[in-house]
Structure 1
Amino acid sequence: MTRMPTYFISHGGGPWPWIENMRRQFAALETSLAAMPDELPEKPKAVLMISGHWEADGVRVMHAAQPPMLYDYYNFPPHTYEVVYPAPGAPEIAERAQALLDAAGIPATLDDTRGFDHGTFVPAAVIYPDADVPVFQVSMLSSYDPEAHFRIGRALAPLRDEGVLIVGSGLSYHNLREFGPQAEVPSKAFDAWLNEVLDLDPETRTDKLIHWEQAPHARTCHAEEDHLVPLFAALGAAEGGTATRVYHEDGIMGGVTASSWRFD
């Protein structure tokens, strides 16, 4: 089995692939997500998603064999609440993930009821539209603590050698009150900082990301860091790896600069 890379992806807005005008807006993102299978050494046994839309007091691991859908978005057209992404779960790999977390001193609980949130099923439907790769999620911690999420990533890293693709799904800019033209300056500055930091040596890179609030416009770009935290886990699972920006776009959602990276 060949080692898998990990990814941090900007997953776009709401159920965008099923809304024509939004899909046009996110055409470059769609292209980058659709290209991911060709960037991998082989087809994964499963995709492990750490989504910016699932947080808990302790780490939870999706364990259902056929996870339900969770439509955690609001005020979208009715048909977007009928979307079904029928990928199977990965209960045995979920148990392996729980064991790795427990062995690292990170208590983790299997969750048999959690469904795919849109931070997972939206990008997954573009990456694997045939839903022929099992998908499961690992929650963030509601503390958002950067060091804790680096530790989560490090604990899950052995899965990369077991055919599992680890994806942190968030957004490099996420401030629901500051989309539109007012996002242009802060998102561009923060995105440039992220790209510069991710190109540093691993030790310096990790330290700077742990102290991400020192970045330009940090709290404007992430008033709450739920969409940034998946980056820490994804990079923690590939901490010594090289970062490659695989998606970058200016002016989405009225003014936002956003990017995605692969770590290998």
Structure 2
Amino acid sequence: MMPSLFIAHGAPTLAIEKNEYTDALQDLAGRLKRPRAVVILSAHWESPVQEIGSADVYGTIHDFGGFPRELYEIQYPAPGDRLLAEETAALLRSAGVPVRFHPARGLDHGAWVVLRLMYPDADIPVVPLSVNPALAPEEQYAIGRALSPLRRRDILVIGSGGTVHNFAKMNMRAEPGRADEWAVLFEEWLREKLTAWDLPALYRYRELAPYAEWAVPRHGSEHFVPLLYAMGAADDERRAERLHLSFQLGSLSHAIWQFGAEPA
């Protein structure tokens, strides 16, 4: 049984940095059993209808601007898995979720930055999924729950986003590793509710969590919702553990959450 994971993908420069967070991602890959495939839901693929990538080999989308040239030269040609895409679609349809395939879309940086740090050889099949931040939290969790059977087949489900992600609150002059108090308070509320698997509170995080409007601005909730998808994928075990938390720019959180099974 594989766990499901929530992984913050941070800024695109994470792909060329070496720090405590990149070390944590590389260590995590080494502790997990090697997955047969990865199903990943990225904050940077939004769609009102649930979409599923079905390419044979994925292109690398450099969906950002103003960064060092070497970032635009990175390629991550991960193979697809059409049979797994079909199986994923069947699970979602059986849960009442309409789906459509997208055979041409590549991997955005929310997907390839994380995957490249964990599996740099791009030799594990990938099936990317879109997210829909307009859904209610209960609906996002339910979509993740529909994916739970994949974990029994050595398939790793990952939600990629950011639990605290607000450009307006980032401090470009912040000392490395320094965290704004409000961001820490939000993360600690989240830790308490996730480890208790307190779904009623989590579904109402905007009302109940301290500084929720700062941590998850309404125009940027797409970065938070992959957490709910990943959590739902472990509904059958309901175990949550925060494996890492660090910050850049004062409030951009780098969090790794594991749901479900223990690492091998």
TM-score higher than 0.5 here?
Answer: yes
Aligned counterpart, 2:200: 207
The question of 1:8 aligning with 2:6 is answered yes
CA separation of 1:28/1:183 partners in 2, compared to 1, >3 Å: closer, same or farther? closer
Number of residues of Structure 1 aligned to a counterpart in Structure 2 = 251
Question: How does the TM-score come out when normalised to structure 1?
Answer: 0.90
1:1-264 equivalence runs, <5 A:
3-18=1-16, 23-24=17-18, 27-40=19-32, 42-180=33-171, 184-200=180-196, 202=197, 205-213=198-206, 214-223=208-217, 224-239=220-235, 240-250=237-247, 252-264=248-260
Displacement of 1:259 in angstroms is 2.0
Identity of aligned residues (%): 35
The 10-residue stretch of structure 1 (183-192 or 107-116) with the greater mean CA deviation from structure 2: 183-192
Displacement of 1:142 in angstroms is 4.1
Displacement of 1:17 in angstroms is 2.2
* Counterpart AA for 2:246: E
Once residues 257 and 120 of structure 1 are traced to their aligned partners in structure 2, the CA distance between those partners, rounded to angstroms, is 17
User: Any idea what SS the aligned residue of 2:6 has?
Assistant: strand
Once residues 258 and 125 of structure 1 are traced to their aligned partners in structure 2, the CA distance between those partners, rounded to angstroms, is 16
The gaps in structure 1 that reach 5 residues or longer are none
* Counterpart AA for 1:218: A
* Counterpart AA for 2:258: R
Query: CA-to-partner distance for each residue in 1:49-73, whole Å, 9 max, x for gaps?
Result: 1111111010000000111111111
Displacement of 1:257 in angstroms is 4.3
The gaps in structure 2 that reach 5 residues or longer are none
Once residues 58 and 121 of structure 2 are traced to their aligned partners in structure 1, the CA distance between those partners, rounded to angstroms, is 16
In the TM superposition, structure 1's runs of 4+ consecutive aligned residues that sit over 6 Å from their partners are: none
Query: CA-to-partner distance for each residue in 1:210-260, whole Å, 9 max, x for gaps?
Result: 11102000011111211110000000010232111111114x124444422
Displacement of 1:111 in angstroms is 0.8
* Counterpart AA for 1:215: A
CA RMSD of aligned residues (A): 1.6
Once residues 262 and 39 of structure 1 are traced to their aligned partners in structure 2, the CA distance between those partners, rounded to angstroms, is 12
Question: How does the TM-score come out when normalised to structure 2?
Answer: 0.90
Once residues 38 and 64 of structure 2 are traced to their aligned partners in structure 1, the CA distance between those partners, rounded to angstroms, is 22
Displacement of 1:177 in angstroms is 1.4
* Counterpart AA for 1:249: S
CA separation of 1:58/1:65 partners in 2, compared to 1, >3 Å: closer, same or farther? same
